[in-house]
């Protein structure tokens, strides 16, 4: 029944950044979907598959994990590994309800699933 709950859903992305004082976590809405939770979850899945961050500039390996309602994307670069977390959040209050939400992620046909790494 929870999959049929209607609302406006934020497609949220969190990542860690370094600055001179240390690490901090930044979270932002990558887009919004109005519809059922199931529809929003499908939009989040498509968004994660299409996600192409600026860092690392030269990725060596990319692994996407599903974790309950969200995803964890680990992208290994030549010198550093980057971690991005994605999850759904339903909007319960917006202090500017008439403001246009960010655009929804692009629609596309996802590629076939990749085989998991073999245990060796």
> Who has greater pLDDT, 34 or 69?
34
Q: What is the pTM of this model?
A: 0.76
Q: What is the pLDDT of residues 3-40, one digit of tens each?
A: 898 999 999 999 977 677 878 888 999 999 999 999 99
E runs forming strands in 39-114: 61-67, 70-76, 81-90
> Who has greater pLDDT, 112 or 3?
3
d(CA 88, CA 13): 9
Which letter does DSSP use for residue 4 in this model? Answer: G
Cβ atoms 32, 10 nearer than 8 A: yes
Q: How many residues does the chain have?
A: 120
Q: What mean pLDDT, rounded, does the chain reach?
A: 83
d(CA 51, CA 89): 18
Strand partners, 10: 32, 89
Q: What is the mean pLDDT of residues 60-83?
A: 92
């Amino acid at each position: 029944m929870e999959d049929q709950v209607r609302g406006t859903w934020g497609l949220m992305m969190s990542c860690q950044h370094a600055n001179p004082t240390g690490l901090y976590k930044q979270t932002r809405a990558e887009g919004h979907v109005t519809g059922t939770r199931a529809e929003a979850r499908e939009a989040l899945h498509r968004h994660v598959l299409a996600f192409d961050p600026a860092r690392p500039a030269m990725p060596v390996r990319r692994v996407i994990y599903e974790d309950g309602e969200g995803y964890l994307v680990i992208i290994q670069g030549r010198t550093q590994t980057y971690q991005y977390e994605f999850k759904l959040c339903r909007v319960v209050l917006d202090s500017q309800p008439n403001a246009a939400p960010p655009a929804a992620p692009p629609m596309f046909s996802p590629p076939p699933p990749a085989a998991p790494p073999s245990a060796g």
